[in-house]
Structure 1
Amino acid sequence: MAGALKEKQLVRHVYAALQAASCPLVEGLYLQETDSMLQLLCAPSQHRTDILAWICSSVNPNFTNSKVMSMRSKGPDVLTGEMAVIGQELMLCRADDLDLIRGDATPLWQLQFLKQLLSLVPACKKPAGHRVDQETLLNELYAAENLPHFTQMLNPTLDPWPAHIKALCNGSKSSSYKSSREVAADVAPLLELAQSTLQKLQSECEFLSKEAQSPGVFSPSSLRVAASDLQLLMTTFSHVFETDLRAYCSRDPPSFSTETDVFERIHQLLLTFIMQLEMLKEISEASVSMTEEVNQLHTQPSYRSRGEKRNLQDQLEELTRRIGDFFSLFHS
């Protein structure tokens, strides 16, 4: 019972993600029943294969329509194997999971695979109905009917100064001079406090010191600072969008995901990759050392025979000659 409920939830999620990504193969279907969605996404059919090929082309730019048509002309197994290879490269399945690609696997496994694959499509980061397409947003902002508004923003006819700034500008010189002195007297302690705080932070944060970090070394602290700066910039853009651009666009502002496990997974993969590189380096060094030892055994004289040092090759030749002489004397 719990498995069937999970299948229904997954199939609705996957179908909604395809609609959010504007998949042309589901447009105009308007499926409402869960069984119909399961039949579309989990039963072997040419339509299901086309949907999976479209997802693979959205994830992998090299998987073009012309390449799909070429593989399809060679046979259905060629296209199935190529999509399985893409799934293996994305660490979502194995290259021999052809039943999963054809649609012969269990529906739950297929739906989980499709959900993970669709999560890599940029347009599926938000569910259908709340998705913000950046390209569509920019096209709407820079539409012909909105250009006069941008021109007015660049050359405003109204005075943009706030009321308290206007009062300072329109006041007498003496009052303005007095206000400026008062403002300077109030701001100076704040600047000194901010400077001392920044110096204290710089002494405490190792990643802000150039001497504390050698160039070319990966720093998780720097990554956190860069991610925080990026989020701050995007938050500022959202605020500007809400205050200044909302009147010219009917779409919702972009939202930010709180899922940060992708950084952890990437960090673990990088550590594993570095460990494998170190192992390969040690294997290479051990191979070079073993080769040198073997060459030294063959070339360096280290065996004594009749008061002389000989190498292994000469010693073996001498031993072979003596055995041959012994047998020749025995037969004679």
Structure 2
Amino acid sequence: MAGVLEEKERLRLVYASLQAASCPFVEGLNLQEADSMLQLLCTPSHHRTDILAWICSSINPNFATSKAMSMRSKDPDVLTKEMAVLGQELMLCNAGDLDLIRGNVSPHRQLHFMEQLLSLVPGCKKSAEHRMDEEMLVNKLFAAENLPHLTQMLKPTFNPWPAHLKALCKGTKSCYKPSKEEDADVATLIQLTQSALKQLESECEFLNNEAQSPGIFSPSSLRVAACDLQQLMATFCHVYETDLRTYCSRDPPSFSTETDVFRRVHQLLLACNTELEMLNEVSEASTSMNEEVNRLQTQPRYWRRGEKHTLSDQLEEVSRRSREFLSLLHS
């Protein structure tokens, strides 16, 4: 239930941020229901794509150039990929998170991504928080549990004071007189309180110490410390009963005194890790050398008679010219 409320608050905050930033794609909508906002912001649609594109152009003005827009109109996926690349540059997502840009992931992740983007729009977050505070105040005021209080505020009623209070206000004697039993109960309660205070003062020797400054320590601070200690003890008892009791009842573990075993295992693991790194580097070097040899054999790099030729063609030409030269010598 708390997660649903948090998601609704984040949804309203994102929508309020768009309104505060004067996004043209939410002006005139005036959505009030959370389901309508969720349909607008977290469901794949052309409208949602336009909102994301507007946010990206507000963060990076080069994102909305005419040349770029003409290229995106030819291929719709270009806009999605460019927004993903911008999110990667802002360290908010990966370049391959195209489902996040299209709106095919969970609403929680989409709202978190939009909230992070809108925090980068100048002057957007502060205005949205101010607007959200006003909306939360209005929603809380018109909540179902507060309607009776609101009705009483709109139509107030005056309850007359008791007779003895009226008499005190008028300066006359009250017709209300406490009974002897009530007087005895109050006197007994006062006496018990005084005896308890005296006992507490006798037990707390630091209260009678003249060297102790009253500004540093006082009975009120003692009461606060006692309340804090009670809360800490209650919290520890709860944690002990739920999590620590099973571990405290176990026997202590027995550790081996043979530390050489751990040292040898560590050395073997370190040597194995080093060997794996060497094998990885050898494999990468072999792959790089193979690619370089293939490029030398297939790509034209050597000039002959104003044209580039491959290594094999060049070697074949040299062999041919050598054979012709030798045949001329023998003839």
The TM-score normalised by the length of structure 1 is 0.38
